[in-house]
Structure 1
Amino acid sequence: MHAFDVLGDPVRRRILELLADGEQTSGAIAAVIQAEFGISQPGVSQHLRVLRESGFTTVRAQGARRLYAVDSAPLQEIDMWMERFRRFWSQHLDALATELARGKRERRTNDADTSTATEPTDNDKEDR
């Protein structure tokens, strides 16, 4: 199965998102997927099998439990394939970063201006 066929399924993408936070048991993964997608435990097992057989995950036994983790090799292959397309969005992301920095700088300037304003002194109040 091609990597994009594997990742084209929202359930499998969600499983990978869960595993990106670290190794998890099949039971913990199944609980989240069942709650979010309404899929049965055997259905979740099928998705885990596809991910395992396509190389996106590894599994190890710990007693009766099965612990799944992300295997980064297929993701690195996708990253290399996408390299030729990055030019289409990298300029836009650079522009976004510039705008975010500009907004932070303006907020700091406004905060500094606000904090330097002082309360009127008693002498100022008497002059009014």
Structure 2
Amino acid sequence: MTRTAGQADTFRAVADSSRRTLLEALAEGPKTFQQLHALLPLTKSAVSQHVSILLAAGLISVVVAPDRRRTYALVPEPLQEIDDWVDQYRGFWTRYLDGLGEAMRRHRASRPDTKSGRRP
């Protein structure tokens, strides 16, 4: 499955741990820039760049109050693109882990010490 340009922006935006920290905070509710800045050990300029990337990717929105204070909020819909992409691999991991679990059960059952509960 090939990703669209919009999906690529979403993937790039969440690839950075600082931006993920901002998204996690915004998932709890809207925040001011000052609140977002307080979360990261970065300059205001660096946080502003991260916020700009999240805005461009459509992952956050901004409301400017009459006093010019900006409040940022999470826009969760683009994250669905990531979930859809990861979903392709859920079946693989389920089959893989089920197979691994079955192999471990067979291995334990073949060991005589395991049946008695004793370990060598």
**TM, length-normalised to structure 1:** 0.63
Task: Among all aligned residue pairs of Structure 1 and Structure 2, give the percentage whose two residues are the same amino acid.
Answer: 38
Residue aligning to 2:72: 68
Looking at CA atoms only, which structure, 1 or 2, has the larger radius of gyration?
1
User: Which residue identity is paired with 2:51?
Assistant: L
Is 1:10 the counterpart of 2:17? The answer is: yes
1:51 pairs with 2:58: no
Q: Structure 1: how far apart are the matches of 2:10 and 2:35?
A: 24
After superposition, the Cα gap between the structure-2 partners of 1:83 and 1:12, relative to the gap in structure 1 and judged at 3 Å, is same
Tell me how far apart the structure 2 counterparts of residues 80 and 66 of structure 1 sit (CA, whole Å).
Answer: 31
- CA–CA separation in structure 1 for the residues paired with 2:93 and 2:59: 26
Instruction: Spell out, residue by residue over 1:14-58, the C-alpha distance to the aligned partner (whole angstroms, 9 max, x if none).
Output: 00011010111111101111xxxx210111011001000111100
- Relative to structure 1, the CA distance from residue 90 to residue 44 in structure 2 (aligned partners, 3 Å threshold; closer, same or farther) is same
Report whether the alignment pairs 1:31 with 2:34. Answer: no
Larger RCO (alpha carbons 8 Å, 6+ apart): 2
Residue correspondences, number: 90
Greater fraction of residues in helix:
1
TM-score, normalized by length of structure 2?
A: 0.67
Structure 1: gaps spanning 5 or more residues: 95-128
Counterpart among 24, 27, 44 of residue 20 in structure 1: 27
Unaligned stretches of 5+ residues in structure 2: 1-7, 99-120
Question: Counterpart amino acid of 2:54?
Answer: L
* Offset, 1:92: 8.5
SS in structure 1 opposite 2:42?
coil
Shift of 1:88: 3.6
Aligned residues: CA RMSD: 2.0
